[in-house]
Amino acid sequence: MDILLVAIHNAFSASVILYTAFGVFLGVTIGAIPGLSGDIGIALLLPFVYKVAPACSLGMMLGIYKGSIFGGSITAILFGIPGTPAAAATVEDGYKAKLNGHPQQALLTALYSSVTGDIFSDMVLIFLAIPMAGIALNFGPVEFFALYIFALMLISLLTRGKAVKGLASGVIGLIICAIGMDPMLGTPRLNFGIEQLRGGISLIPVLVGIFAVSELIIQFSKEWHDIITKKLEKIDQQGTFSKYNIDKDKMSMKIYFSNLKATMIGALTGTFIGALPGAGSSIAAYVSYGLARRFSKHAEKFGHGSLEGIAAPEAGNNATCGATFIPLFAFGIPGSGIAAIFGAALIMQGITPGPTMISENTLIIYTLFVTLIYANFINLGISRLLLPLYARVSMMKTRYLIPAIFIIALLGTYTSRNSVIDIWVLLIAGILGVVLKKNDFPLGPLVLGYIIGPGMERSLRQALIIGGEDRFFLFKSPIAIGLYVATIVFLLLIYKVVKKSDKNL
């Protein structure tokens, strides 16, 4: 109890609150700009994690994550352009609600549902992470290797119809993390004779290059601003606000509670899907939307500006925020690309994600849990107050953003280790990210493969050493066998679902 009181005191210190609030502001702003997303913002800030106290840096990253998920709904509702992939499902009813003369109700429904789903997911994380970590303490090398196999297969298969490309992307991540020194033999491998790579490839330039630099190159090449301008011209021609009546567009608690069923469907669905490695907020939003429509008493209104059609996907995509950390905190396996980046931030602060993380870092993790909860209310307050400003910022010209973000990426990467080789890795990773994106390869599995690769290799080699001459040692643990069976079952189920959805297209 004493340590909980200290954690609460730390979490509510002025510095942590300010950093968290700044993170929320930055996250919503980034999320509201089409083409940018929370993972880019967090990746850009990774080099500066060393400079700030753990509670402050983690609070800021949490704020960016939570704010960016909601921020994507702003342009989705106002302009029919999802600011982030997670907001794509919100466009269907959000933009229609705006065209029907209810932009304020649509935006506030999205905000309130987002915060509700996020709080629900955070509570599940807090109450599940510690018991699951206790179970994980019974895992040995054999069990952890089976768990890594299970996670990698889910990651590759849950990338929405891109199973082969998802698996290939994960393998690329495994290869990148293998560059450097053999952890058990101490000999160099895959460094191509480059001495600077004997110590391996640093995490920061890989993440910043893959997520941020690649996106900057793509945005620069395809003139994203021209696309948005054409969209806005089309909107202006429709004269959507010619008959706007603000008195008929007021939000009330009655409206909130009328959409509570859809909100809770989204919260439950998003929490479950978010806990699955690789599933992601986009899938959670679409599944939540489909379920809410299935169980709604007014299903016929979906697709025509239904507020339920906004509440469900927004609660669903935000509910992944807390749940995606469950496998990271309990087993050391990131549940998504953004959780992988967050895991990297923990590692940089000297905190190793996994079953012993909470017991070895109780104070900072409890502080993180408290920050998780009140960050939602900061998100609610800041977003509620500044929604008109966010709507304007969301249309900021990309030509002004690209140079500024690129300079931040270069400076942050160099100052993290004062290494020129990291700049080259950053640029090469950016080009690799462009190639993968252009060929429709998901980036999440690559980052996840890079993060869990060392643990997977260590578990496999330790298990083989313990097993000695026994070739079937990896299959003698009941837990491991259960995970292998679960992997096969998920393979079959997901293959069946994907095949069925392809027929319906």
Residues 6+ apart with CB under 8 A from 88: 76, 82, 282, 285, 286
Tens-place pLDDT, residues 300-350 = 888 788 889 899 999 988 888 888 888 888 878 776 777 878 888 888 888
User: What pLDDT was estimated at residue 230?
Assistant: 59
pLDDT digits (tens, 9 = 90+) for 96-119: 888 787 888 888 899 999 999 999
Tokens of 164: 């082969």
Cα-based distances in Å from 134 to 130, 139, 331, 359: 6, 10, 10, 10
Question: What pLDDT score was predicted for residue 12?
Answer: 93
pLDDT of residue 41: 76
189 SS3 class: strand
Residue burial 344-375, b: 16+ Cβ < 10 Å; e: rest: bbbebbebebbbebbeebeebbbbbbbbbebb
Rounded Cα distance between 505 and 501, Å, is 6
pLDDT of residue 17: 94
d(CA 390, CA 69): 14
3-class state of residue 331 by DSSP: helix
Q: What is the pLDDT of residue 133?
A: 72
- The residue among 361, 367, 372 whose CA lies nearest residue 11 is 367
pLDDT in tens, the chain (505 residues): 678 889 899 999 999 999 999 999 988 888 777 656 677 777 777 777 777 888 898 899 899 989 888 888 887 887 776 667 677 778 878 888 887 878 888 888 999 999 999 999 999 988 887 787 777 767 788 888 888 887 777 665 555 556 678 778 888 888 888 888 887 777 888 887 788 788 788 777 887 788 778 877 876 766 555 555 555 555 444 444 444 455 566 777 888 888 899 999 989 988 887 776 655 677 688 778 888 888 888 888 887 888 898 999 999 888 888 888 888 888 787 767 778 788 888 888 888 888 788 888 888 889 999 999 999 999 999 888 887 776 555 555 556 667 776 777 787 677 667 788 888 888 998 899 889 888 888 776 787 778 778 878 888 888 888 888 777 888 888 888 988 898 888 777 766 655 654 454 4
- CA atoms of 263 and 265, how far apart (whole Å): 5
Query: Residue 155: what pLDDT?
Result: 62
